[in-house]
């Protein structure tokens, strides 16, 4: 069972997810300490391993910094559910083997603190708190292959051997 | 059905006769751009996976521009990792301190960008290169690692949106105002996953420098790439800048190519624009925001740090004094030298500006002009997100070099047309 942090906002950008003042390192543990700092300074104190972020449209817009994925993953977040994702963030997530979920309705049907169970294979979010099921389209096959391999580079290594 | 210029370039790179939007392709890369934030992690990944190799030491361009000269110990370590890697693999084009320039100004200037090619970079503003009828897009570190090692990358072919730029620009109105007006209309995700193709008579009258300001900000509308056709202005720039490899292929969109939308802009009606905090899409005409007090002006970046931008700013600042902190950051060493030789530095010095060495620096809140709590900055850069240039409670206002220069004199948002003949 995973707890949810809902941010009812569109365009949560990479500067809010991991401010550039921390880009002088690529250490995931270090980055995680500042995850979402300019959006919600208290997030790092609230988040627990396996938690889920829910947001509006265009999540992760702005910079191509993969540090945004590493900060979120490093903070223990299991997945991000958003109405839509910015292109480079979405790509970075797949390349890191980090499954993110596009759902236009999740933000309307999930509240802060709700507990969720996610079936990534069939594309189903069970909101146990509200007793609601939310369907989503699972990632396309080419993306699943990358995620299954544990990221783009692992897939590359596997294919070469 | 015909193809767009973006589809033609991608089909060539994928070794196919035709590609269609939505199709996943594997494309061969012509140029890979590396800088000091996204590349060191990519190198570490390759070493860790046991694939520490480069696909072509001549096609990888390295410029550690973000925190150069090193702003602290950690960034010095990033530079050190980059330095060791370039030596290990004998990277041919490594621009070291003294020749380091802001990547998207440096690569075209040093002759690394050619029409018809596919260029990726570990930086979101890699879309800048589309001004040269090329496909340029930004990626993260994992993609960059795969690109460096294999020279190939997967892409989803984007659908194209056409932007027809009609009319002509009035005095005091520049390409920055045009792109801010476009993003104000369509929003920061108005072109999400799309190619933004710019056409129309306004472009014909613009220099390559001015055009790059437009394609640079395609990402601020969420686009995968921004692109423009090839003309005599493109050719002249390339004739002056290409060095090693001077041949290239020019692609153009077919008459019957398919677009998901067509937006028409009457550019004659565009006023100097200012994008208010905290989104690039918050653009309003200067007449609606003039008078707002500022604490700093910043003239530089991959958006507006080129020689033409500095000339525009110097013209307004000449013989005047700035009343707020004003930073002028030429985007490359060659631009720095040219500005000095043309006497622009005299205008900046006499006006009371500081002239910095080329760096991305404060554009992303790194160093060299970071904002304190509550401070406001008029900036020629490309993003004004919360905390972008410093404290999360500081504010960034995006505008052209002319509007930034006029505002620097008045200490508040000001109409540059009041300073032009």
Identify whether the C-beta of residue A21 lies closer than 8 Å to the C-beta of residue A70.
Answer: no
Asked if B205 and B280 sit in the same domain, the reply is no
How big is the CA angle at A25 (ends B277 and B67), to the nearest 5 degrees? 65
End of a domain among B202, B231, B264? B264
Q: ipTM for the complex?
A: 0.94
The confidence score (pLDDT) of residue A18 equals 97
Contact map slice: B 186-245 vs A, CB within 8 A:
188-189, 192-193, 222, 224
DSSP H or E segment with residue B263:
strand B261-266
User: What count of other Cβ atoms lies within 10 Å of the Cβ of residue A41?
Assistant: 11
Domain span including residue A41 = 2-159
Same domain, B135 and B278: no
Which CATH number do you get for residue A32?
3.20.19.10
Which residues span the domain enclosing B159? 5-245+259-264
pTM to 2 decimal places:
0.97
Sequence-distant (≥ 6) Cβ neighbours of residue B221 within 8 angstroms: B182, B183, B186, B187, B188, B189, B190, B191, B192, B196, B281
Residue B420 belongs to a domain: no
Contact B143 A152 (CB under 8 A): yes
| B361 in a structural domain | yes
Task: Let me know whether B96 and B192 are in one domain.
Answer: yes
Pairing relation of β-strands A115-119 and A124-127?
antiparallel
Residues B104 and B212 in one domain: yes
- Residue B98 CA: distances (Å) to CA of B83, B95, B335, B354: 14, 8, 12, 19
Structural domain includes residue B40: yes
Are residues B66 and A61, on separate chains, in Cβ contact within 8 Å?
A: no
Total Cβ atoms within 10 A of residue B72:
11
Q: Same structural domain for residues B397 and B281? A: yes
Total domains present in chain B: 2
Contact B145 A151 (CB under 8 A): no
Domain-located, residue B253: no
Residue B34 falls within a domain, yes or no?
A: yes
> Looking at B230, B264, B298, which one is the last position of a domain?
B264
Chain A: residues touching B (Cβ < 8 Å) = 10-11, 13, 15-16, 19-21, 23-26, 37-39, 57-58, 61-67, 69, 84, 86-88, 91-92, 95-96, 142, 151-154, 156-157, 160
Overall domain count for chain A: 1
Is B374 part of any domain? yes
- Provide mean pLDDT across the span A65-75: 97
User: Does residue A161 have a pLDDT over 70?
Assistant: no
In a domain, B254, yes or no: no
Inspect the interface and report whether the beta carbons of A88 and B139 lie closer than 8 Å: yes
- Asked which of B197, B230, B264 is the last residue of a domain, the reply is B264
Interface of B with A in 301-330 (CB under 8 A): none
- Rounded-to-integer distance, Cα A84 and Cα A103, Å: 7
Q: How far apart are CA A80 and CA A55, in angstroms?
A: 8
* Residue whose C-alpha is closest to residue B237's, from B114, B63, B99, B100: B114
Q: What is the mean pLDDT of chain A?
A: 95
Let me know whether B240 and B354 are in one domain. no
B307 in a domain, yes or no? yes
Distance of residue A151 Cα from the nearest chain B Cα, in angstroms:
9
Nearest Cα residue in chain B from A38: B392
The pLDDT > 90 percentage for chain A reads 94
Residues B193 and B62 in one domain: yes
In a shared domain, residues B87 and B205: yes
B327 and B214 share one domain? no
The CATH number that applies at residue B289 is 3.30.499.10
pLDDT by residue for chain B (421 residues), tens only, comes to: 899 999 999 999 999 999 999 999 999 999 999 999 999 999 999 999 999 999 999 999 999 999 999 999 999 999 999 999 999 999 999 999 999 999 999 999 999 999 999 999 999 999 999 999 999 999 999 999 999 999 999 999 999 999 999 999 999 999 999 999 999 999 999 999 999 999 999 999 999 999 999 999 999 999 999 999 999 999 999 999 999 899 999 999 999 999 999 999 999 999 999 999 999 999 999 999 999 999 999 999 999 999 999 999 999 999 999 999 999 999 999 999 999 999 999 999 999 999 999 999 999 999 999 999 999 999 999 999 999 999 999 999 999 999 999 999 999 999 999 999 7
């Amino acid at each position: 069972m995973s707890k949810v942090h809902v941010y009812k906002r569109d365009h949560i950008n990479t500067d809010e997810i991991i401010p550039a003042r921390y880009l002088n390192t690529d250490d995931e543990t270090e980055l995680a300490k500042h995850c979402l700092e300019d959006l919600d300074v208290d997030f790092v104190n609230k988040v627990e391993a396996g938690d889920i972020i829910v947001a509006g449209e265009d999540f992760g817009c702005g910079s191509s910094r993969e540090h945004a994925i590493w900060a979120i993953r490093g903070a223990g977040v299991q997945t991000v559910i958003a109405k839509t994702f910015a292109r480079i963030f979405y790509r970075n997530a797949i390349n890191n083997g980090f499954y993110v979920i596009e759902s236009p309705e999740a933000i309307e049907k999930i509240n802060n603190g709700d507990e969720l169970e996610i079936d990534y294979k069939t594309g189903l979010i069970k909101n146990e708190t509200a007793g609601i099921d939310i369907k989503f389209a699972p990632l396309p096959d080419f993306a699943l292959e990358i995620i299954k391999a544990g990221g783009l580079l692992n897939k590359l290594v596997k294919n070469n051997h | 059905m015909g193809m767009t210029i973006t589809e033609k370039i991608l089909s060539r790179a994928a070794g196919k006769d035709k590609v269609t939007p939505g199709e996943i392709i594997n494309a061969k890369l012509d140029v890979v751009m590396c800088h000091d934030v996204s590349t060191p992690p990519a190198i570490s990944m390759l070493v860790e996976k046991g694939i520490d190799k480069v696909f072509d030491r001549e096609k990888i361009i390295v410029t550690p521009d973000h925190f150069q000269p090193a702003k602290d110990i950690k960034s010095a370590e990033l530079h050190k990792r980059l330095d060791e890697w370039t030596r290990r693999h004998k990277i041919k084009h490594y621009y070291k301190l003294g020749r380091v320039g802001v990547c998207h100004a440096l690569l075209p200037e040093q002759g690394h960008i050619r029409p018809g090619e596919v260029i990726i970079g570990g930086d979101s503003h890699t879309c800048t290169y589309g001004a040269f009828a090329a496909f340029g897009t930004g990626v993260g570190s994992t993609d960059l690692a795969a690109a460096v090692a294999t020279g190939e990358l997967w892409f989803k072919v984007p659908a194209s949106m056409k932007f027809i730029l009609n009319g002509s620009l009035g005095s005091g109105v520049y390409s920055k105002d045009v792109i801010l007006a476009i993003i104000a209309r369509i929003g920061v995700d108005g072109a999400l996953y799309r190619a933004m193709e710019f056409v129309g008579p306004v472009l014909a009258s613009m220099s390559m420098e001015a055009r790059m300001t437009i394609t640079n900000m395609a990402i601020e509308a969420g686009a995968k790439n921004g692109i423009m056709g090839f003309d005599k202005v493109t050719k002249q720039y390339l004739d002056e800048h290409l060095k090693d490899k001077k041949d290239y292929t020019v692609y153009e969109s077919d008459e019957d190519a398919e677009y998901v939308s067509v937006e028409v802009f009457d550019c004659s009606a565009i006023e100097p624009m200012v994008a208010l905090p905290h989104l690039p899409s918050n653009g309003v005409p200067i007449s609606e925001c003039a008078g707002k007090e500022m604490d700093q002006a910043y003239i530089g970046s991959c958006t507006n740090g080129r020689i033409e931008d500095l000339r525009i700013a110097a013209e307004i600042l000449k013989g005047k004094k700035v009343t707020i902190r004003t930073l002028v950051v030429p985007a490359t060493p060659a631009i720095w030298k040219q500005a000095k030789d043309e006497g622009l530095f005299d205008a900046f010095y006499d006006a009371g500006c500081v002239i910095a060495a080329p760096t991305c620096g404060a554009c992303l809140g790194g160093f060299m002009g970071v904002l304190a709590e509550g401070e406001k900055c008029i900036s020629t850069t490309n993003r004004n997100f919360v905390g972008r240039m410093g404290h999360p409670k500081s504010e960034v206002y995006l505008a052209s070099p002319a509007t930034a220069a006029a505002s620097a004199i008045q200490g508040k948002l000001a109409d540059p047309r009041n300073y032009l003949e």
